[in-house]
Amino acid sequence: MKLRAIFFDLDKTLWTFSDPDGRQKIYALQGQKLVEILEKHGVSVRWDPVFMGSVVGNGIWSAERAEYYSTAIPPRYGEILRKIVEFWNGEAPNVDWDEVYRALYVEEAPLKTVYPDVLPALARLKESGLKLGVISNRTMGGEPFLREWRNTELAKYFDDIVVSCDVGYMKPHPEIFRIAMRRLEVEPEESMMVGDLLRADVIGAKWAGLTAVWINREGQENNYPSVKPDFEIKDFGELLRIVMEDESL
């Protein structure tokens, strides 16, 4: 079968932080929101918002990382948040912690920049009739992220976006790829995945039967001899040449 769909990772594949401190800025804003919520519920907060945002951000990331390597199923983010607050602050109010976690959402698109090779390539791929999708591991999603996504300059090129925290699977779990393919009504042999992480994008794609493309923008060495992408590229110009010129696709 011929190629009908290409799926892309988001961070460090389509865009990246324009500010090297972008992640910490998001944590600080989340810390401010959390302090306000706790104080609203009558809890005296021991630490400043920047500190609270840091421990929450890094705590959530660590909990997700543990699951990433063991099950590739996202943790219960609200429960993790409750434990973090209880440990660092000494008390945690009796609230809906899933709701509190969702309330910490901060838009990140203003802190991101799209790689210059991306938009022209996406336009060409779209014009060729290919279906385009995003498969992203994220700790926050839902309607707030979808609203933000729809307002980005990337969104118009894509038919769908699948977010790990919304579907209950993280890359490299094959099911997140299967969900994405079902939504675009394509088969594995008709599909390609492009991403920057060998252990998530390449391994996951190959487990699910897709053609796996490793975008290696910084020329890193592949230190995992057993992980063999079908293609390795340094930019989207190379992706275009592969897709448009390789008759096997």
**Confidence grade of residue 1 (pLDDT, cut at 50, 70, 90):** low
Tell me what pLDDT residue 245 has.
83
Integer Cα distance of 102 and 28 in angstroms? 16
- Strands 131-136, 5-8: pairing is parallel
- pLDDT tens digits, one per residue of 192-209: 999 999 999 999 999 999
- pLDDT tens digits, one per residue of 119-169: 999 999 999 999 999 999 999 999 999 999 999 999 999 999 999 999 999
Length of the chain (residues): 249
Tell me what pLDDT residue 246 has.
73
Please identify, in words, the CATH class of the domain defined by 5-18+109-245. Answer: alpha beta
Integer Cα distance of 140 and 107 in angstroms? 10
Residue found under tokens 């599909």:
191
- Strands 211-215, 231-233: pairing is parallel
Tell me what pLDDT residue 56 has.
97
Integer Cα distance of 5 and 3 in angstroms? 6
Whole-model pTM? 0.96
Integer Cα distance of 212 and 233 in angstroms? 11
The closest of 220, 198, 211, 218 to 239, measured between CA atoms, is 211
Integer Cα distance of 37 and 31 in angstroms? 10
How many C-beta atoms surround the C-beta of residue 81 within 10 A? 21
**Secondary structure letter of residue 190 according to DSSP:** G
DSSP three-state, residue 210? coil
- pLDDT tens digits, one per residue of 89-99: 999 999 999 99
Tell me what pLDDT residue 236 has.
98
- pLDDT tens digits, one per residue of 15-59: 999 998 999 999 999 999 999 999 999 999 999 999 999 999 999
User: In the chain, where does the domain assigned CATH 3.40.50.1000 lie?
Assistant: 5-18+109-245
